Chains A and B, each alone.
Chain A
């Protein structure tokens, strides 16, 4: 797990999401954990948005933890992309409490 790199983005404010991306080549694929009030209605769409964003950033293996506070699709994608870029840059920031 020495190659793990973590990026965090967003906040727990309303309409936002706090996203942690752990880029880990040792993972089998992408593990996506989402805690959201919208999970029952939009869980699949949210997972799809996260997966598409990470794959666009070149991340196919790793762990993503999301605490969503009612973010729009464009916000969620922005937070995931930022966290992914930070992870790829080796920018280790404060980890999300889970």
Chain B
């Protein structure tokens, strides 16, 4: 049930920038977001839609998840975005202004229609839901459960804090509430939880601190707006040697118990239960993605 794809970083690529679109996969992000929404002025929505569509047709993005942030269906641009982008079957769309289960179902239905019309298995393209309002923040569980296409929950920090009347701060305490809601709803639904962007591209220490904190909270990754933020976030999402060593020993004990046919797993005289094994699996996956040398247990 749990989505295993790594999404430590999701890099926004403006849909108006041909140079960045051409090179989007070389920066090393786990996921790229070809952006048709807030990163594109209204006067260039048509141009960005065609440019991104052509990029999806022509460019082979290797080793990276390809997603497109479309405009919401409640805007004048959303339907055109879906009609141009879904036939190219990106890995996922990022659905902004996702404030209810109905928003997801509406997108799901249109996607299924477009997939069928273009010879694509319905359900192929996933949805990463972006919630941006106080109202949406109270409906995250129903949003996450609204379609099997939902792969992850995300939130828009600027729009959300504006909607609740909070002041944006470096510390980010105004996001504590929505972060907790996103994580809990994602875990209930068995999907990933993805954190919003850190806006100051010159503050690498602040970025690392925030990324490290959201990983501790349970997030699976974080959006980034500049390529140089990628390595910093990956570093924050890379487990320590101690964590990796313990995870390896947990997995070794787990496999030994499985080979003995016993459900009871013991390590250092303590019983290891399923959540500990799940956490160990996640740490090993993060360590492998980061290219860490695994320590023999």
**A-side contacts of B19, CB under 8 Å:** 13-16
Q: How large is the interface on A (under 10, 10 to 19, 20 to 34, 35 or more residues)?
A: 10 to 19
State whether the Cβ of A24 lies closer than 8 Å to any Cβ in chain B: no
Query: Is A82 in contact with chain B by the CB < 8 A criterion?
Result: yes
* Given A13-B19, A72-B18, A75-B51, CB of A85 within 8 Å of CB of B46: yes
Please name all residues of chain A whose beta carbon is closer than 8 Å to the beta carbon of B55 when the two chains form the complex: 74-75, 78
* In the complex, chain B residues 29-62 whose Cβ is within 8 Å of any chain A Cβ: 46-47, 50-51, 53-55, 57-59
A16-B19, A71-B18, A78-B51 known; A86 and B46 CB under 8 Å? yes
Bitwise, A60-80 to B at CB < 8 A (1) or not (0) is 000000000001111101110
A9 close to B (CB within 8 Å): yes
**Alpha-carbon distance A81/B50, docked complex (angstroms):** 8
Chain B residues 47 to 83 lying within 8 A of chain A, measured CB to CB, are 47, 50-51, 53-55, 57-59
Tell me the chain B residues, 120-141 only, with Cβ under 8 Å from chain A.
none
CB distance from A21 to the nearest CB of B (A): 13
Residue of B53, B54, B55, B57 with most chain A CB atoms under a 10 A cut-off? B54
Instruction: Let me know if B22 is at the binding interface, CB within 8 A.
Output: yes
The closest CB in chain B to the CB of A81 belongs to B50
Interface centre among A10, A74, A75, A85 (most CB of B within 10 A): A74
Q: CB-CB < 8 A to A15: which residues of B?
A: 18-19, 22
Q: Which residues of B contact A14 (CB under 8 A)?
A: 19
Q: A85 to B46, alpha carbons, bound, how many Å? A: 9
Compute how far the CA of A15 lies from the CA of B59 in the bound complex, rounded to whole angstroms. 14
Main secondary structure of the interface of B (DSSP, over half): helix
CB neighbours (8 Å) of A85 from chain B are 46, 50
Q: Which of B21, B47, B58 interacts with A9 by CB under 8 Å? A: B47
> Chain B: which residue is nearest A16 at the CB level?
B18
- Which has the most chain B C-beta neighbours within 10 Å: A9, A14, A78? A78
- Which residues of chain A are within 8 angstroms of B18 by Cβ–Cβ distance? 13, 15-16, 71-72, 75, 78
C-alpha gap A75/B56 in the complex (Å): 11
Residues in B whose Cβ lies below 8 Å from that of A72:
18, 22, 58-59
How distant is B51 from chain A, measured CB to nearest CB, in Å? Answer: 4
**Chain B residue contacts of A71, Cβ below 8 A:** 18
1/0 per position for A25-56, CB-CB distance to B under 8 A? 00000000000000000000000000000000
Give Cα A16–Cα B21 distance, bound, in whole angstroms.
11
B80 CB to closest chain A CB, in angstroms?
Answer: 11
The interface centre, meaning the residue of A9, A14, A75, A77 with most chain B CB atoms within 10 A of its CB, is: A75
Contacts of A73 in B (CB 8 A): 58
Q: Taking A10-B47, A78-B18 as given, write out 15 further A-B residue pairs in contact, using a Cβ cutoff of 8 Å, ordered by the A residue number.
A: A9-B47, A13-B17, A13-B18, A15-B18, A15-B19, A15-B22, A72-B18, A72-B22, A74-B58, A75-B21, A78-B47, A78-B50, A78-B54, A79-B51, A86-B46
5 contacts between A and B (CB under 8 A): A15-B19, A75-B18, A75-B54, A79-B47, A86-B46
Sorted from nearest, which 4 A-B pairs have the closest CB atoms? A15-B19, A74-B58, A74-B54, A75-B18
